[in-house]
A and B are shown apart, each in its own frame.
Chain A
Amino acid sequence: MSDHTHPTPAQYWKIAVVLAVLTAIEVGMYYIDRELGLGAFNAAILLVLALTKFIIVVGWYMHLRFESPFLNRFFTGGFILALSLYAIILGLLGVLVIRGGG
């Protein structure tokens, strides 16, 4: 269970700060978008920010970055499967084609 490659508490705190900052930027973008109406650009930024937070928590807090590649492939595989299947469904049901509204 204990492993030489575990981050230290200090590093965990630093990661937490990064996550908090990313969240703050996300919320900030939300308000900026309300003012400026950035459309797809806003969506892209927010999704990238969310993905970054996602990868940080999975990679460092869940320790996947330092685990066996087998676990990595398994977990990532499940994620990609979900993403693909639901993207196709949303495409078939007309959601992914139209951005925003109606």
Chain B
Amino acid sequence: MTDLAHEPELGHHDEHESTGIENRKLGMWVFLSSEFLFFGALISNYLLYSNRGGFDAPYPAEVYDIPFTSVSSFVLLMSSLTMVLAHNALSRDDQNGARTWLFATAALGSVFLGGQVFEFTDFIVEFGMTLSTNPAASAFYVLTGFHGLHVAIGVIMLLSLWGISRRQNGLSEKHGLNLELVGLYWHFVDIIWIVIFTVVYLLSLPPS
């Protein structure tokens, strides 16, 4: 029976995947390619509105706390390191190590999110910049908000994998692939932030 179960299936098994890339991995790369269009629209929108003057203050570029955001950007960047270490640990069948690094990644991601929440609260309460203050503010909040949502979903996925690993005493090969997939997603969220940090925070000027 096991022989037949391992029979080369129509298009299901690595040896039959015509590109040589597992289905789910290819699927994740395909999906991530489309996300460039999603974030590109939001970033372009911010660029369009960021210095349109003549409306209520404050503008995002007037209230940025660059030191604070630099730190949280660094945190997110380092979470990519921990993510890749988790993947590496699993590939050496170091289940404990994988679990640790997974948790570390989720923790760093949560720190980043916490920073975002703190930053938003500060902008709203301290400076009175809300969604409706001016178009630049709308654009800023929606862009970084969606990015944050992506991070949050990533954290949930990381913690799920961590939980499964704990419950099942390690990740099976199937879940191992899932870890790699979550890793790809996580790094993608990081590279989007690399762009946002530079273009939206560091390079953005308020209306003169």
Residues on A lying within 8 angstroms of B by beta carbon are: 1-2, 6, 8-9, 12-13, 15-16, 19-20, 23, 26-27, 29-30, 42-43, 46-47, 49-50, 53-54, 57-58, 61-62, 67-68, 70-71, 74-75, 77-79, 81-83, 85-86, 89-90, 93, 95, 100-102
- The answer to whether B48 and A82 have CB atoms under 8 Å apart is no
- The answer to whether B91 and A20 have CB atoms under 8 Å apart is no
- The answer to whether A12 and B84 have CB atoms under 8 Å apart is yes
A19: chain B residues at CB < 8 Å are 77, 80-81
Number of A-B pairs whose CB atoms are under 8 Å?
A: 132
**21 contacting pairs across A/B (C-beta < 8 A):** A1-B22, A1-B176, A1-B177, A12-B88, A13-B81, A15-B81, A20-B77, A27-B66, A27-B67, A42-B203, A46-B202, A49-B198, A50-B194, A53-B77, A83-B40, A85-B40, A90-B44, A93-B48, A95-B44, A101-B51, A101-B208
Residues on B lying within 8 angstroms of A by beta carbon are: 19-22, 26, 29-30, 32-34, 36-37, 40-41, 43-44, 47-48, 51, 53, 66-67, 70, 73-74, 77-78, 80-81, 83-85, 88, 91, 173, 176-177, 180, 183-184, 187-188, 190-191, 194-195, 197-199, 202-203, 205, 207-208
